[in-house]
């Protein structure tokens, strides 16, 4: 089920003042190009994960101003009546290209490009950034945690620590795309299809006269989904023994061997090792051990290295808030405009901070794969109409250190951006969550392990074509393109 809500007024106020200005300056229909991209990978990692496109699609399809919106804008006293009347028939009529959700993305490359009349292209900036920045952030953090678990399932447990309802819902959605197996958030399952899971809290155990009665009752009610929380009182002295007793007395007579215990505090390595020994000695070798309690990728990695006997991880606040680095620095910048004859005029933003200098023009992005290994080797940003001939050697160079060059001969160049809207109409079949999740797994697997390191990852190159590099450097010397 998709949630369709009109978020038209969820914008920065200056989107409206600029739109009013474009309208008054007869620039409302000026075609322009904007790119969304980001500058730095969170947690100093090697890559990020694209997520949030489905919400952009819903937003664009529901974009309109109602009379209540227009009346509110009239009270601000800074908008022309002709502009307010224009907004009554406002809708998006432009084009959008984007990277599919679940795709690994790298700094500096467009992950979404908009071609539209100035007012439209400018106005949608805020929502695109807020939804893409949030979900890319959570998907990136989730994928790190999933990779740290080395094949063990990870469930997202963070709703109660999320920043608001959307933080919980969309965070759960993004985490599932990035590889989490389930979520504790029921509405995320209902709305998006991210599987909901969960059994009991400490309060369940405390509500009964004793721990054993709590466990036995739960096993009787939910014999096919009995995961018992064993750390309410004492894990090894009461929790695990009572769980074993309940499993043997309730589940085994029914032929049910699938069950689990959950550890939510204490030394998880030591407790899981001892619990595993106790369960195995009781003949409950199929009983799984779940662990939670303020986990992240580094703690999970250390637990595994220390020999913890944990089968599944539940990760909450440090995933749903990306606590270690809670901001994804995506930006939305003008890259080009069209003149009256339809010619594309590149635009550049220059800064004394080199990282904030933009790459101009209407662009395409290709991922270069080695046919021999199937691995992604580099990304190439080029002009939108450049063709890559796979039958000829392809030389790439570092745009910041042009003497660093590499030639590829046996390669495949796959375009990253797909068209989502054409003339305001949706032309993209938005994949379901399972498809995006599977796509993410395949694409991350195609990265070299060196790129996936948590510390000091290999620098994956995002290069510019020679033509694009020449245009960028000519504009650095002459931003307005007036020199002959």
Query: What letter would DSSP give residue 113?
Result: E
* Coil, helix or strand at residue 8: coil
pLDDT in tens, 362-375: 999 999 999 999 99
> Residue 219 to residues 52, 252, 253, 264, 348: CA-CA distances in angstroms?
39, 11, 12, 20, 64
Look at residue 409 and tell me whether its pLDDT is greater than 80: yes
Give the up-direction half-sphere exposure of residue 39: CA atoms within 13 A in the CB hemisphere: 12
Helix H or strand E segment including 408: strand 405-408
Q: What is the side-by-side order of every strand in the sheet holding 182-183?
A: 182-183, 154-156, 312-315, 288-291, 260-263, 227-229
Distance (Å, whole) CA 191 – CA 432 = 12
pTM of the model: 0.96
Q: What pLDDT is attached to residue 484? A: 38
Question: What are the structure tokens assigned to 195, written together?
Answer: 């599987």
Domains 13-138+326-361+415-477 and 150-320 are alike in CATH topology: no
pLDDT in tens, 40-87: 999 999 999 999 999 999 999 999 999 999 999 999 999 999 999 999
Distance (Å, whole) CA 19 – CA 126 = 13
Count CB-CB contacts under 10 A for residue 152.
17
pLDDT in tens, 211-245: 999 999 999 999 999 999 999 999 999 999 999 99
Residue 481: pLDDT band by 50, 70, 90 thresholds? low
Domain 13-138+326-361+415-477: state its class.
alpha beta
pLDDT in tens, 315-339: 999 999 999 999 999 999 999 999 9
Q: Using alpha carbons, select from 87, 83, 97 the residue that is nearest to residue 25.
A: 83
Superfamily of domain 150-320: Aldolase class I (3.20.20.70)
Tell how strand 227-229 and strand 260-263 pair up. Answer: parallel
Q: What is the chain's alpha carbon radius of gyration, rounded to the nearest angstrom?
A: 26
φ, ψ of residue 327 in degrees (nearest 5): -135, 130
Q: For the chain, what are the domain ranges?
A: 13-138+326-361+415-477, 150-320
């Amino acid at each position: 089920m998709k949630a369709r809500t009109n978020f038209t007024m969820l914008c920065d106020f200056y989107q409206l003042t600029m739109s009013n200005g474009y309208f008054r300056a007869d620039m409302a229909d000026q075609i322009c190009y904007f790119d969304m991209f980001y500058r730095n990978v969170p947690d100093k990692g090697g890559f990020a994960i694209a997520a949030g496109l489905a919400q952009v699609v819903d937003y664009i399809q529901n974009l309109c101003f109602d009379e209540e919106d227009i009346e509110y804008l009239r009270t601000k006293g800074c908008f022309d009546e002709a502009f307010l009347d224009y907004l009554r028939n406002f809708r998006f009529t432009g084009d959008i290209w984007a990277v599919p959700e679940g795709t690994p993305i790298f700094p500096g490359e467009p992950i979404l490009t908009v071609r539209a009349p100035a007012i439209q292209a400018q106005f949608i900036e805020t929502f695109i950034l807020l939804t893409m920045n949030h979900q890319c952030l959570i998907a990136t953090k989730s994928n790190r945690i999933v990779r740290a678990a080395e094949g063990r399932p990870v469930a997202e447990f963070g709703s109660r620590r999320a920043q608001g309802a959307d933080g919980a819902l969309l965070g759960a959605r993004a985490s599932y795309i990035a590889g989490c197996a389930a979520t504790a958030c029921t509405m995320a399952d209902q709305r998006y299809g991210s599987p909901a899971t969960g059994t009991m809290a400490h309060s369940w155990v405390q509500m009964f006269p004793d721990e054993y009665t709590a466990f036995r009752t739960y096993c009787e009610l939910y014999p096919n989904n009995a995961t018992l929380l064993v750390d309410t009182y004492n894990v090894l002295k009461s929790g695990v023994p009572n769980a074993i007793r309940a499993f043997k007395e309730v589940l085994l007579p029914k032929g049910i061997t699938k069950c689990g215990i959950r550890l939510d505090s204490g030394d998880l390595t030591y407790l899981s090792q001892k619990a595993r020994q106790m369960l195995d000695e009781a003949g409950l070798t199929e009983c799984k051990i779940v662990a939670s309690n303020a986990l992240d990728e580094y703690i999970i990695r250390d637990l595994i290295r220390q020999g913890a006997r944990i089968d599944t991880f539940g990760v909450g606040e440090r995933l749903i808030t990306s606590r270690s680095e809670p901001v994804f620095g995506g930006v939305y910048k003008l890259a080009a405009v069209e003149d009256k004859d339809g010619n594309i005029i590149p635009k550049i933003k220059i800064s004394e901070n080199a990282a904030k200098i933009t790459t101009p023009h209407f662009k395409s992005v290709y991922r270069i794969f080695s046919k021999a290994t199937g691995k992604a080797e580099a990304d190439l940003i080029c002009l939108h109409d450049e063709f890559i001939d796979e039958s000829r050697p392809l030389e790439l160079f570092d745009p910041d250190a042009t003497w660093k060059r590499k030639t590829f001969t046996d390669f495949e160049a796959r375009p990253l951006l797909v068209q989502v809207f054409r003339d305001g109409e949706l032309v993209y079949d938005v994949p379901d969550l399972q498809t995006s999740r599977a796509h993410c797994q395949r694409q991350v697997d195609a990265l070299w392990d060196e790129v996936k390191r948590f510390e000091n990852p290999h620098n994956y190159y995002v290069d510019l074509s020679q033509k694009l590099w020449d245009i960028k450097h000519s504009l650095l010397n002459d931003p307005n393109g007036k020199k002959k």
